[in-house]
Amino acid sequence: MALYEWQRGEYRITTDPAQIDLDVVHGFLTTSYWAWGITRDRVARSIAGSIPFGLFEGDRQVAFARVISDCSTFAWLADVFVLPDARSRGLSVWLVETVLLHPELQGLRRWSLATRDAHSLYARFGFVGLATPERLMELRPGNAEAGGPAPSSAQQGGRLQP
């Protein structure tokens, strides 16, 4: 797949997996509420199997998202985060906007994601709650090493993102 880059002032988004800072992405995800304890190797494989979006301030990666897609019918948006010291600057809005503009992710039938509390971030792009949740199923093999919900959120509903 072709690699893409977008620039906005001092910020840059790239889909080049070679530029993704695994220390930053693993460091955040392994303490996140949805992938608590995920191993570095599993994060590396998830990036290799996705379209990654790294957002950089100069040389430093400050945000991340990835998309799992067949580039024809569906896409799943996952692992969206902005590092704490770079928040409230509109970076997640720009990141999600950029993801949705990716040239090879146009004309899909469905975009999906899971979130505990960021619904309004995605709602501005047209995401809504499931119209027919009874038609969707999931399988959770229960592999602890896969990374799962943080202990504090475990009673609140389990894992939310792959």
Distance CA 83, CA 63 (A): 6
Q: Does 8 bind ligand COA (CB under 6 A)?
A: no
Report the residue from 3, 41, 89, 154 that binds ligand COA according to the rule CB under 6 A. Answer: 89
* CB closer to ligand COA out of 1 and 93: 93
* Contact predicate 79/64, CB 8 Å: yes
Q: Does 36 bind ligand COA (CB under 6 A)?
A: no
**Cβ at position 49, least distance to ligand COA in Å:** 19
Report the residue from 13, 38, 43, 80 that binds ligand COA according to the rule CB under 6 A. Answer: 80
Q: Does 117 bind ligand COA (CB under 6 A)?
A: yes
Report the residue from 56, 81, 102, 148 that binds ligand COA according to the rule CB under 6 A. Answer: 81
* Contact predicate 50/42, CB 8 Å: no
Cβ contacts of 136 within 8 Å, gap of 6 or more: 130
* CB closer to ligand COA out of 72 and 87: 87
Report the residue from 24, 25, 43, 91 that binds ligand COA according to the rule CB under 6 A. Answer: 91
Distance CA 77, CA 121 (A): 13
Report the residue from 1, 87, 154, 156 that binds ligand COA according to the rule CB under 6 A. Answer: 87
Please give the residue ranges that form the binding site for ligand COA (CB under 6 A).
80-82, 87-93, 115, 117-118, 120-121
